[in-house]
């Protein structure tokens, strides 16, 4: 920006971040936490149309690294992702009866499941049956089959926020 190559506008900075893969992700996380206007524009650059939820979440966290701890910034990221995912898939959201709040709950469940299945510190891994039961308690109106497919994706492909 100091050399005039990049404008100091949220949209331009977001495009730069979106297209640049070699940025220091720890510094970027701090920057995005401070510049929510840039974060907003960065989120809108993602197109999650016709993507399965866990795959879209993985793509999102490839561009915007998840924080290592739970907290307000992680909640902000999941909220922004949930709204963007719904905006990109309005027909699917109507068909499944999902709102951004329900997608938020599913995303949080997927992150927790990812940690549970991949952490060596968790001795008793969550079963598919337990995940379905717990997730459907937190977000009603979601089909058992859909939640089962979410579990299978994490089990077979791996962590959504790695």
Q: Rounded distance, CA 113 to CA 79, Å?
A: 18
DSSP 22: -
Which one of the listed residues 69, 72, 75, 144 is annotated catalytic? 69
Q: Which two tokens stand for residue 23?
A: 């940025």
130 catalytic per annotation: no
CA distances from 88 to 1, 8, 98, 105, 109 (A): 31, 28, 13, 18, 21
Q: Rounded distance, CA 71 to CA 27, Å?
A: 17
Nearest CA among 100, 10, 6 for reference residue 53: 100
Q: Which two tokens stand for residue 101?
A: 């709040």
Q: Rounded distance, CA 97 to CA 90, Å?
A: 10
User: What amino acid positions are annotated as catalytic residues?
Assistant: 69
């Amino acid at each position: 920006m100091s050399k005039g190559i990049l404008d100091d506008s949220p949209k331009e900075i977001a495009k730069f971040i979106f297209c640049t893969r070699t940025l220091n992700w720890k510094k970027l996380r701090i920057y995005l936490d401070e510049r929510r206007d840039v974060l907003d524009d960065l989120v809108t650059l993602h197109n999650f149309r016709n993507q399965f939820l866990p795959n879209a979440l993985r793509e999102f966290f490839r561009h915007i690294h998840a924080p290592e701890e739970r907290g307000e910034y992680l909640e902000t990221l999941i909220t922004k992702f949930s709204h963007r995912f719904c905006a990109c898939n309005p027909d699917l959201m109507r068909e499944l009866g999902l709102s951004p709040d329900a997608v938020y709950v599913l995303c949080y469940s997927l992150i927790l499941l990812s940690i549970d299945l991949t952490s060596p510190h968790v001795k008793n891994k969550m079963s598919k049956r337990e995940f379905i039961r717990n997730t459907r308690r937190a977000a009603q109106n979601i089909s058992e089959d859909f939640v089962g497919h979410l579990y299978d994706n994490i089990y077979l492909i791996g962590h959504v926020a790695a």
